Amino acid sequence: MKKEAKIRPFWYSDIWLFPKLITIITSMDKRGRINAAPYSHIMQYDVMAKNPRMIVGFRQGSHTFQNICDTKEFVVNCPSADYLDDMMETARFYPEGINELEHTRFTMIPSLHVKPPSIKECPQIAECEAEEIVRLEKSSGIVIAKIKALVFDEELIEMGREERIRKMNLPIGLGDEDRQDYFHSTLGHISMHKLGESPDAFKGSEIRLGMTWDADALQALMTIPPMVRTMVTTQTEEYARAKGDEKVSHARLNQFAAEQGMTPEFMERFQKKQKSA
């Protein structure tokens, strides 16, 4: 049985479970005073290297949001799970102008492209500059920022993914209850799933089926290289229609493929060639 939950203030953290990246954002006010606080409503986007961006959701009254409105630059520092207590210390409501980092084990280091400092103990850092600021009425302030630099502990950059995941040991934020109790998790079991698709496989999603395909016919179609899958789809449907079929069956697809000389051996060769290309 499912039941609708009441949407209460802070629903996105209290009821809606959403494993989050834990970050500490460092910023500066107009007078050059440093501020640090944890932020987790953060998302990286824009896949292309030309415009890497970061989007962050802030309480509009927070010092960090006010600083970003005033001075635009900020740094997203990702601490390892060893520093969760220090990260929580930076969440306390210190008066304006107080540098929370001075009450932690964190060390400030100069950033490469922006004025606010970075945190030495954080293995993964993004230096950002606000590009667009949206103030939602009676709600959050959303900052869309350009990433000026992604900075890592040197040894991490060339490290294999699984080793890097373990070495960084980033905590996973699991939300809070009543703004008092914050839940975090650390890495346990890591699983890896292979998608088993070639780099051009996304082309397959552009195909529009003109007929219903049986499940096994569709699975067989998915094994055909994306480069020729559209052509095979259209031609198989034409072939099936000419035979008076209402649906494309696996048997009909095999018959069509065999007539075209697309034997399993031929298809395997084709796929190998594609992988080595």
Ligand X SMILES: Cc1cc2nc3c(=O)[nH]c(=O)nc-3n(C[C@H](O)[C@H](O)[C@H](O)COP(=O)(O)O)c2cc1C
Sole residue written with tokens 């839940």: 183
- Give, in order, the Cα–Cα distances in Å from 7 to each of 10, 13, 270: 8, 11, 53
- Pairing type for strands 124-135 and 140-152 reads antiparallel
**Cβ distance to ligand X smaller for residue 57 or 123:** 57
Side-chain-side CA neighbours of residue 227 (13 Å): 10
**Cβ distance to ligand X smaller for residue 37 or 75:** 37
Side-chain-side CA neighbours of residue 79 (13 Å): 30
Q: Give the contacts of 20 (CB within 8 A, at least 6 positions apart).
A: 40, 41, 42, 172, 173, 174, 175
Binding site for ligand X (CB under 6 A): 22, 35, 37-41, 57-59, 62-64, 88, 91, 93, 173, 182
Cα–Cα distance, 204 to 92 (Å, whole number) = 50
In the complex, the smallest distance separating the C-beta of residue 70 from ligand X, rounded to whole angstroms, is 13
In the complex, the smallest distance separating the C-beta of residue 173 from ligand X, rounded to whole angstroms, is 5
In the complex, the smallest distance separating the C-beta of residue 131 from ligand X, rounded to whole angstroms, is 19
In the complex, the smallest distance separating the C-beta of residue 55 from ligand X, rounded to whole angstroms, is 11
**Cβ distance to ligand X smaller for residue 35 or 80:** 35
DSSP letter at 215 equals: H
Contact 190, 172 (CB under 8 A): no
**Cβ distance to ligand X smaller for residue 182 or 256:** 182
In the complex, the smallest distance separating the C-beta of residue 225 from ligand X, rounded to whole angstroms, is 43
**Cβ distance to ligand X smaller for residue 119 or 232:** 119
